[in-house]
Structure formats: C-alpha cells, structure tokens
Amino acid sequence: MYATEERRVMLFPREAWWTALFQAAPARYCDVSTPAKWSHPGEVVTVDLDLDVCRIREDGSVFVDDEDEFTLHQVRYGYPSNVVARTEAASEWLSAALHERTEPLGSRYHEWLDNLPAIEGPSEPRRSR
C-alpha cells in the first residue's frame, strides 16, 4: 500500500495476459496476470502470476522482476503448463514491447492521462483485501 501524487492510468487489455500502469513520468510497470474479467462495471479481477516487467524512468532500461517467485510458485501452487507458457510468452512480449516502445506501451498513454482531472494533494492509499 502506498500513496502517490502522480496521475496514473491502469490498462486492462482484453484477452491479454498482462496489465499496465502508466504515470506521467516515463516509467512503465506491467504485471503479468490472467486476462481481466469484469464481475460488474466497477470491478475488474485478475490473478497476479508473479512476473513484473518494468521500464526505468531514468535510463529506459527494461527488466523482468520476481522470476524467483514465479519459479517457486510453479511448484508450490501447481501452475498448469499452459499457464506457465502463457506467463512466459506475456513476459517476453512485454519486454520487447517496452524496449521498442510498441503501442499501447509507447506514448499513447499521454492521451489517457490528459483526460484525467488534476489531483488535488496526495491521494488516499487503496487498501488491498
């Protein structure tokens, strides 16, 4: 849990095995997850599959985080082979897309951020369930 003063947009692409967080600063944080399902208009559900693919603000470098957790959880939780394959494929695609600045991970997010209202002071932290 944390608070932020930056405006941000979360992308839940249809049928994709990832989500992406966009901020005004040029950092990207992508979470490899099961495809998003909307239980109702105000709630989206995904299952975090451990791997995170990030691009650093300062130098634009891209890295995959939590590979150790993914390896451990494959055994601990018995991830099916098709889930492992989809997770690895999503991680590889995200890494390449972030390096190459492929849309929607390139610059289109600026348009989405521009449509958000300005944040007045620090936002309230969201609490996980």
44-58 confidence digits (pLDDT tens): 999 999 999 999 878
CA distance 44 to 18: 13
- Using pLDDT thresholds of 50, 70 and 90, give the confidence band for residue 121: very low
Least confident of 22-31, 73-82, 90-99: 22-31
Query: What is the mean pLDDT of the segment spanning 108-119?
Result: 79
State the pTM of this model: 0.81
Mean pLDDT, the chain, rounded, equals 86
pLDDT band at 26 (very low <50, low <70, confident <90, very high): low
CATH number corresponding to 8-105: 2.40.380.10
Q: Please state, in angstroms and rounded to a whole number, the distance separating the CA atoms of residues 31 and 107.
A: 18
